[in-house]
Structures are given as C-alpha cells and as structure tokens.
C-alpha cells in the first residue's frame, strides 16, 4: 500500500470517527433526555381518572370553581405534573401553582402555550383535554395535564429509577450497535474509495518508472470519466506517441545507415578497384564517383535542413512575390502550369523553390513517359494554394498521411530511381508549416496523385479578398 493511500485512508477514517463521535454524543444526550421525559411525564390512565374525579367532586360540592386552586395543587402534587383548567370554550379558569404567574393560552387545536416570568421562556404542548362534567352530566370544563417544568426535568436525577436506568441502558446498547455498524461500513467504504483513487495513480507511477528504466511504455487501465481517468487517457496517448517516435527513430537510424552505406560502398568499390589496377580512373569512372559524392552531399544537406526545421531554428527571409509567376519560373518546362493573376504572398523565395522543387521532383519521378505533370496555382479563402498533379500509380489511402514522415516511401524496395531517400516530403511539410500553411496528398480517381500546399496571402491582399466576400 502506497503512502498516498495511507494518507487518504487516515484522513477519511479521522473524518468518519470525528463525525460519528460528535453525532453519537449528541444523539445520546438527546435520546436520554427524551427517554427521561417520556418515562417521567407519562401518567397511567388511573391518574387521569383521579384528576377528573377530584375536579368533578369539587364542582358538584361547591357548585362552581371557587377554591379550585387547592384541589389543583393537591392533584398536581400527587401526580407530579402541571394542570391547566379552562372553560369548554378554552378560556383559562385556573392552573397549578407554577403556572399561575404565567400567561396561559389554549387555541383551537388544543395547543397549550405558557409564557413564564423568565425572559424567553415559552413552552408549547399539544395535549388532549380531560372533560369535566357537572352534576347533570354536561361538560363544564376542560383540564389539560402538562409535563412538569422542563428545568425541573433536566435537573431531575433518575439514577434511583430502575425503569429509567433499564430503558436508557437499552437505548445506549442500540446506539453503540448502530454506531459500530456505521463505523465499520464507513471504514470498508473508505478502503474501497481510497483504493479506487490510488490504484490508477500507482499504475501510472509504475508505468512512468518503466519508461525511466528504458522499458517500452505500456497502457494503463482507464475506468470512469473523472480527472484521474483523463490523466490515464492522456498517459496512454503519450505512451503511443513515445512508441511511435521510438519506432520512427529506430527506422530513421536504419534508413540513414542504409542511405549512407550504399554510396559509401560504391565509392569504396570503385576506389579499391582503381587501387588494385582492376579499373582505370577514366572520365566515366570519375563521373560515377562524383555522382555518388553528390548523392551523399544531398543526403547530408537534406538531413541538416530537416533537423534545423524541426528544431524551429530555421529563419525565413520573407519577400512579397507573385506566387503564380514564381512557381512558373521554378517549374519551367518540367510541367504544365495554370495560375490566376496577381496572387501575392509573403514567402521565402529560396524555401519556396525548395518546396515546389521537392514536390515536382517526386511527381516527375512517378509519372510515366509521355505524360505531363500539371501544376495549378489558385486563390482560396484559406490563402493561396499550389497543387501538383501527376499521372503515376497513385498512393494507397493508408499511406496518404504517412508519406510526409522521414524516410517513408510507398515503394519499400528503396531504389533511388523510384523514391530517393524519403526526406523530400518531410522537408516540404516542415517548410510549409514554417510559412503558416499546410500540405496534404490525395489520390486521383483513375490513377495519379495530387500534392497541395497552402501559403497565406499577403496582408493587404487578404484584406481585399475579405472585403470582396
């Protein structure tokens, strides 16, 4: 178990214990008070009968309520309660001694409200009245039997009352059982929740440590939609990217080694043949060696350009140029060019020549003899576009996004006459992105492929185009 899980568990357990402890103490105090009140204020039916009989006897003997206070005091002292006597229409007649100095009201729902002499004292009870009948059997008064004074109830010591002790002990046992079950359930839930929170974090930590040790990154399990699940999803995406970049790096190292090995081997063979006297250094032989050296130079320059572009250290020297005229000049007689007039862009002429040259060389290489490559320059809402269309074998849909990767070629035979080193399109993508545009490839129905890249229009022309729209 990790330290984080221990911390979560300790924090949640402390919270549960404190909460249940405070709740338990409060509930125990309130419950004890209620039990004492019920036990003390509950009067058996014979007691009510005794109170009713005493009041009726006084009414019949006196013929009224004169001197009823003595009867009320005698009854309340015997029953250990308080009493309010009212007329049938709930008008107070008299009350027990502790209520005679208070304001007593009885409303239509048999609510008895007493206001004592002490500030803020206000007690309200809902009790059923005892009906007092006269000698003719008619209702003559109502008697409301109330619990004893609350202050007296609170001060009352029930330690000598076995019934109260037994009931309070039973309540305590039930409360302890309930709180024990609640605590156990809270602890189990705390363990489950802390494990649910920390388990993906532990998996992420283990996966990161594996990466630090040089192991291939592995996916972690994702469950739910919370922040930890989003973190796990992001880690899985990062692991895929690391795996892809590692595979690309290994492939690039192998491709670079292969691309360098072939011309170096040719140079070594040619030179050793001359040294051994098996060949003469004639013009054809020297020309072959020179061609291999130029190929090595181009490969090294392409690698350097790509490294500088990917590092973001390539500086563009932007100039205001007519894109259609400039592309036509670059293409020359290699392709058929169609362009709108006056498409002005801010671009680096040298890098633009490199972009168009790489795409055009790729198109010419894959176009059969007798077919022409077409170049189209147009103005669109997103900026100026340059499309190079060939009539070659086309590109499979699965390769359309991958052809801009370093050393990637649809033709895996690696023949230099069919695909070069596989760096040209990768350089194109970086240079176009540096200009603020994008590049993509599409297969043409019936054969061939179209490579298109965008260049933002010059600021003044972009404003003019927007106003026309």
Q: Is residue 43 very low, low, confident or very high in pLDDT (cuts 50, 70, 90)? A: low
Residues 413 and 363 in one domain: yes
Residues 245 and 301 in one domain: yes
Is 338 in the same domain as 404? Answer: yes
Mean pLDDT of the 114-132 span: 64
Judge whether 106 and 89 are in contact, CB under 8 Å.
no
What is residue 149's predicted lDDT score, i.e. its pLDDT? 59
Q: What is the mean pLDDT of residues 228-232?
A: 80
Q: Calculate mean pLDDT across residues 107-126.
A: 57
Bridge partner residues of 126 (DSSP): 111
Provide the domain limits for residue 246.
227-309
Question: How many domains does the structure of the chain reveal?
Answer: 4
Q: What is the 3-state secondary structure (H, E, C) of the chain?
A: CCHHHHHHHHHHHHHHHHHHHHHHHHHHHHHHHHHHHHHHHCCCHHHHHHHHHHHHHHHHHHCCCCCHHHHHHHHHHHHCCEEEEECCCCCEEEECHHHCCCEEEECCCCEEEEECCCCCCEEEEECCCEEEECCCCCEEEEEEEECCCHHHHHHCCCCCCHHHHHHHHHHHHHHHHHHHHHHHHHHHHHHHHHHHHHHHHHHHHHHHHHHHCCCCCCCCCCCCCCHHHHHHHHHHHHHHHHHHHHHHHHHHHHHHHHHHHHHHHHHHHHHHHHHCCCCCCCHHHHHHHHHHHHHHHHHHHHHHHHHHHHCCCCCCCCEEEEHHHHHHHHHCCCEEEEECCCCEEEECHHHHHHHHHHHHHHHHHHCCCCCCEEEEEEEECCEEEEEEECCCCCCCHHHCCHHHCCCCCCCCCCCHHHHCCCCHHHHHHHHHHHCCCCEEEEECCCCCEEEEEEECECHHHHHHHHHHC
Same-domain status, 35 and 52: no
The answer on 252 and 143 residing in a single domain is no
- pLDDT at site 234: 85
The least confident of 34-48, 95-109, 116-130, 386-400 is 34-48
Regarding whether 168 and 146 lie in a shared domain, the answer is no
- Residue 213 covered by a domain: no
CATH number of the CATH domain containing 431: 3.30.565.10
Instruction: Please give the pLDDT value at position 44.
Output: 54
Share of the chain above pLDDT 70, in %: 77
Q: Specify whether 407 is located in the same domain as 431.
A: yes
Q: Are residues 372 and 400 in the same domain?
A: yes
Residues 334, 245: Cα–Cα separation, whole Å: 36
Which is it for the CA torsion 96, 99, 104, 108, positive or negative? negative
Please compute, for residue 147, the number of CA atoms within 13 A of its CA located in the half-sphere on the CB side.
18
Structural domain includes residue 405: yes
**What is the mean pLDDT of the segment spanning 195-221?**
78
Of 309, 327, 345, which one is at a domain's C-terminal end? 309
- pLDDT-derived band at 215 (thresholds 50, 70, 90) equals confident
pLDDT band (50, 70, 90) for residue 177: confident
Is there a single domain that holds both residue 321 and residue 183?
no
Taking residues 216-234, what's their average pLDDT? 78
User: 216 in a domain, yes or no?
Assistant: no
**Domain co-membership, 459 together with 347:** yes
CA separation (Å) from 467 to 343, 349, 352, 462?
16, 28, 28, 9
Tell whether 401 and 430 lie within a shared domain: yes
> Do 352 and 456 belong together in one domain?
yes
Angstrom distances, CA of residue 334 to CA of 119, 323, 367, 374, 385: 108, 17, 11, 9, 19
Q: Are the CB atoms for 410 and 426 separated by under 8 Å? A: no
């Amino acid at each position: 178990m990790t330290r984080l899980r221990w911390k979560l568990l300790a924090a949640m357990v402390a919270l549960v214990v404190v909460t249940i402890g405070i709740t338990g103490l409060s509930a125990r105090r309130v419950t004890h008070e209620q039990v004492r009140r019920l036990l003390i204020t509950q009067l058996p039916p014979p007691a009510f009968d005794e109170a009713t009989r005493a009041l009726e006897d006084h009414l019949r003997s006196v013929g009224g309520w004169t001197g009823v206070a003595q009867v009320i005091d005698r009854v309340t002292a015997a029953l250990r309660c308080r009493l309010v006597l009212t007329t049938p229409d709930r008008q107070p007649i008299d009350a027990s001694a502790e209520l005679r100095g208070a304001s007593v009201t009885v409303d239509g729902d048999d609510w008895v409200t007493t206001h004592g002499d002490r500030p803020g004292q206000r007690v309200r009870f809902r009790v059923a009245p005892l009906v007092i009948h006269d000698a003719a059997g008619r209702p003559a008064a109502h008697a409301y039997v109330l619990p004893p004074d609350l202050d007296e109830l609170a001060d009352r010591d029930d330690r000598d009352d076995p019934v109260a002790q037994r009931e309070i002990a039973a309540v305590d046992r039930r409360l302890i059982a309930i709180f024990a079950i609640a605590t156990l359930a809270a602890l189990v839930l705390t363990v489950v929740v802390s494990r649910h929170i920390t388990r993906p974090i532990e998996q992420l930590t283990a996966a990161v440590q594996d990466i630090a040790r040089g192991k291939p990154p592995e996916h972690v399990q994702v469950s739910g939609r919370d922040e930890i699940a989003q973190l796990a999803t992001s880690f899985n995406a990062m692991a895929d990217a690391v795996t892809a970049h590692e595979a690309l790096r290994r492939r690039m190292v192998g491709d670079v080694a292969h691309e360098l090995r072939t011309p170096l081997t040719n140079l070594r063979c040619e030179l050793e043949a001359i040294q051994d006297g098996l060949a003469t250094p004639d013009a054809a032989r020297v020309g072959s060696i020179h061609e291999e050296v130029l190929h090595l130079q181009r490969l090294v320059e392409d690698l350097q350009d790509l490294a500088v572009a990917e590092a973001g250290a390539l500086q563009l020297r932007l100039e205001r140029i007519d894109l259609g005229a400039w592309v036509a000049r670059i293409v020359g007689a290699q392709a058929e060019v169609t362009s709108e007039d006056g498409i002005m862009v801010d671009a680096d002429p040298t890098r633009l020549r490199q972009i168009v040259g790489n795409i055009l060389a790729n198109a010419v290489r894959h176009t059969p003899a007798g077919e022409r490559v077409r170049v189209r320059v147009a103005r669109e809402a997103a900026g100026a576009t340059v499309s190079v269309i060939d009539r070659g074998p086309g590109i499979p849909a699965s390769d359309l996004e991958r052809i801009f990767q370093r050393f990637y070629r649809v033709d895996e035979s690696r023949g230099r006459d069919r695909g070069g080193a596989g760096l040209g399109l990768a350089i194109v993508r970086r240079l176009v992105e540096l200009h603020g545009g994008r590049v993509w490839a599409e297969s043409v129905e019936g054969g061939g492929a179209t490579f298109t890249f965008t260049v933002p229009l010059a600021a003044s022309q972009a404003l003019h185009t927007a106003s026309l729209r």
